[in-house]
Amino acid sequence: MRHHIQRQTLDALLAQHRQGRDQVMLDRIEHIPVNLYTHPDVLRQEMTSVFRCYPMLVGHASRLQEPGSYLLSDWAKLPYVIVRDQEGPLRAFLNLCRHRGARLVSGREPCLKAFICPFHGWSYGLDGRLKGITKPYNFPDLDRGAFSLIELPVVERAGLVWIHPTPGADIDLDRYLGSLGDDLDHFKLDDLARYRKTRVIKQANWKLLIKTYLEGYHVPYLHRDTLSQAFRQGVIVHDEVGPHIRLVAARSQFSERMKCERAKRDILEVASVYYAFFPHAFFIMHPDYVSINLFYPEAPDRTLWTHEMLYRPERFEGGAGQKALEKRFRYTNDTVFDEEDFAVAEGVQAGLVYGGNTVHTLGLEEGLLAMFQQNIETAIRTHDLSGGGAARASGS
Ligand code: FES
Ligand SMILES: [Fe+2]
């Protein structure tokens, strides 16, 4: 986050702080139909547009430093493997054999020297080229050149790895991230170390889970005994950058601490910075650790949530540092996200079965939920390849 953006954002936070409220995002209340969280047609449309036509953040690059190191997809619907080739570049492939589609890499391999299919033993180089066919007399006319692994575009930027889920697509990350690319460069995420990653299925629609992050209205109530202690006097401002959102939340004693020069120079001294990278990532920057939350739909009412925590090693040194880190992880992952935010989202989802609410009503400070929804609907209108009509339009 460049210094002039930090200064502008801090000024905006101070202005909100004087008013004692979050930045207003709507000029009137809005309603979101709840069938967007339950209708299988909606998910079908999202899968062929939102989850097909945009780059996707997949994780921290520190897993992929050595030749042969690799990163496997957590999401069975998009089974990729990303590997550091011997030559140096990252390569991403669909993790499936070109013979009859078996999974090539199971995740048990410590590192990869080649891809060897467990089913009938075909082998591929780390560049994806078909190298060996067992019992080759079975395939007399096979054009090996046409049987390379299916490659996905992959890019490393600012210590993070992004793929495009469509083979051959253009992954222009500068264009996709816009000015948020500068933000990420500035935060020097490549200096972070990995702490832990969890993968959990939540019984709620993927959008409901992300939307729990997109407003501060709930913080004093749902997080009364946890986050609201840190954000008690806090206010939130946001920026929309393309389909992405940057949220900045002032922490307690914000205005007092703004009197100190250091706070004016580094926004993380007084605020936490959040990014919703469209479509499925929610990224949280604290001064000493970072949370990468990714959401992958399994069904309209089921989502795979992964949470990877990264940390600044110099802030958590020695045994005491590791204990503090463990405590931080438990607090953030187990208490705030899982037992507070996502437990509410699961309750909301369960309540949709008998349909008490036909819509969810958004107040003026909840406008980012409407904006996120709007971006999804724009993506569906622009890219939907399923040929189905919009479930929202049917009102069913
Ligand atoms: S499916 Fe891979 S070798 Fe047959
Ligand atoms: Fe929350």
248 with 360, same domain: the answer is yes
Q: Does ligand 1 lie within 6 Å of residue 277's CB atom?
A: no
- Whole-number Å distance, alpha carbon 136 to ligand 1 midpoint, is 13
Residue 325, pLDDT score: 95
- Whole-number Å distance, alpha carbon 44 to ligand 1 midpoint, is 29
Number of structural domains the chain divides into? 2
Indicate which atom in ligand 1 lies nearest the CA of residue 134: 3
158 with 210, same domain: the answer is no
31 with 66, same domain: the answer is no
Q: Does ligand 1 lie within 6 Å of residue 97's CB atom?
A: yes
Q: Does ligand 1 lie within 6 Å of residue 117's CB atom?
A: yes
**Residue 323 belongs to domain spanning:** 3-52+191-394
Q: Which ligand is nearest to the CA of 236?
A: 2
- Rounded Cα distance between 303 and 294, Å, is 10
Indicate which atom in ligand 1 lies nearest the CA of residue 117: 2
- Rounded Cα distance between 206 and 142, Å, is 42
105 with 211, same domain: the answer is no
Query: Is 135 contained in some domain?
Result: yes
Summarize the confidence of residues 358-365 as an average pLDDT. Answer: 93
122: domain CATH number is: 2.102.10.10
Residue 394, pLDDT score: 42
- Whole-number Å distance, alpha carbon 119 to ligand 1 midpoint, is 5
Query: Is 149 contained in some domain?
Result: yes
154 with 217, same domain: the answer is no
42 with 94, same domain: the answer is no
Ligand 1 mutation target, pool 93, 103, 104, 117, most atoms within 8 A of CB: 117
Q: Does ligand 1 lie within 6 Å of residue 99's CB atom?
A: yes
Q: How far is CA 235 from CA 9, 21, 27, 154, 260, in A?
A: 12, 6, 19, 37, 19
Query: Is 383 contained in some domain?
Result: yes
The percent of residues in the chain predicted with pLDDT above 90, rounded, is 74
Query: Is 185 contained in some domain?
Result: no
Query: Is 379 contained in some domain?
Result: yes
251 with 126, same domain: the answer is no
Residues with Cβ < 8 Å from 269, sequence gap 6 or more? Answer: 257, 260, 262, 263, 287
Which residue CA neighbors atom 3 of ligand 1 most closely? Answer: 120
- Span 11-62, pLDDT tens digits: 888 887 777 777 777 789 999 999 999 999 999 999 999 999 999 999 999 9
Residue 105, pLDDT score: 98
152 with 253, same domain: the answer is no
Identify the domain boundary among 140, 170, 200: 170
Name the residue among 137, 149, 158 with its Cα closest to residue 61: 158
- Whole-number Å distance, alpha carbon 337 to ligand 2 midpoint, is 7
pLDDT at 234 over 90: no
287 with 166, same domain: the answer is no
Looking at the DSSP assignment, which residues form a beta bridge with residue 31?
Answer: 361
Q: Are 44 and 388 in contact (CB under 8 A)?
A: yes
pLDDT at 387 over 80: no
163 with 286, same domain: the answer is no
Render the burial of 328-367: b for 16+ CB within 10 Å, e for the rest.
bbeebbeebbbebbbeebbebbeebeeeeeeebebebbbb
- Whole-number Å distance, alpha carbon 80 to ligand 1 midpoint, is 17
Mean pLDDT, the chain, as a whole number?
91
Query: Is 180 contained in some domain?
Result: no
326 with 214, same domain: the answer is yes
- Span 135-162, pLDDT tens digits: 999 999 999 999 999 999 999 999 999 9
Query: Is 178 contained in some domain?
Result: no
Query: Is 22 contained in some domain?
Result: yes
230: domain CATH number is: 3.90.380.10
Name the residue among 91, 58, 92, 21 with its Cα closest to residue 249: 21
- Span 95-133, pLDDT tens digits: 999 999 999 999 999 999 999 999 999 999 999 999 999
181 membership: H or E segment, kind and range: helix 180-186
- Rounded Cα distance between 161 and 156, Å, is 5
Which residue CA neighbors atom 1 of ligand 1 most closely? Answer: 100
218 with 151, same domain: the answer is no
Name the residue among 38, 28, 29, 30 with its Cα closest to residue 394: 38
